[in-house]
Structure 1
Amino acid sequence: MSAHADSDEDKEERVNRELTELLDELRVAIPGAEVLFAFLLGVAFTETFHKATTLQHSVYFATLLFTAAATALLIAPTAYHRINFREGDKERLLFSATKMAIASLVLLMFAVSGSVFLVGDVIYGTPLAGLAGGALAGWFAWFWFLLPLMRRNDKSGR
């Protein structure tokens, strides 16, 4: 239960609070995804992009797709809410939007790691870039997924 939750809140109040919390979290993530997406869109139109290797083009395109998909998932709850406005469907929206948000974070993890790989590959070469991108993906996985899951399953309350 959230620190803001009142023990007397009913189901509707809880769903409204949790939905507000989720939407606030999405407002934090969306600008980051949008900036990364805009940056990646611009890269393809630079002169030096055409000199990139096949590996770099492949990683670039995968990274672009991960970012586009993450952006779509982050914005999807807004479309869901508008389409189902006043249908009494907030709890289903909350569960769906939570899944979309988590999936978008997985995609963003790969997108940011891929972007770091691309920059590292240009500056230092593929081996170090692969190490940096992989280490960063592990870092994201730890702080975004594994640590929260371990905390959720930790019954000691620490």
Structure 2
Amino acid sequence: MRWMLILVLCLLPAFATPGGEPQLRAIWIDGFNEGIKTPEQIDTLLARVRQAGLNAVVVQVRKSADAYYQSHYEPRASDIAEGFDPLAYLIQKAKGENPPIQVHTWLNTCAVGRNPHPRAMHRRFPEYLALSDMGEDFDGEATKIDPGHPGA
């Protein structure tokens, strides 16, 4: 009888139903490299996401005051074709997957770069920039707005 109890206890997990909350299994896609800049890149990305068993992507849609989506406030990223909206295409294709792939966005909020576009933030609001006393970028890498500035 004792061995029967041990056998039942050992086999019990085999009959247990899976439970718990669904898992988020995501990959982060930065805007500096290939990934969402063309329809072909997005199609390849989603195929690889599905193949890896992932259910979400986190994509960088604003690197340095440039938009990888349709924006009335910031210029489009210079490395995407005119008329192409990477975020809209990605969302449309990801929704069409079975099951759908979640799309989350990530933005660099303070980096504004030195985009030559007339609508670029550093051109419209130079007083928002976080610069050294010498008028240079603090880290020597990217121009940023000062989040402590009341207007920024």
User: Aligning the two structures, in what range does the TM-score lie when normalised by the shorter sequence?
Assistant: under 0.3
Higher strand share: 2
Give the TM-score normalised by the residue count of structure 1.
Answer: 0.26
Report which structure shows greater RCO (CA 8 Å, sep ≥6).
Answer: 1
Higher helix share: 1
Give the TM-score normalised by the residue count of structure 2.
Answer: 0.27
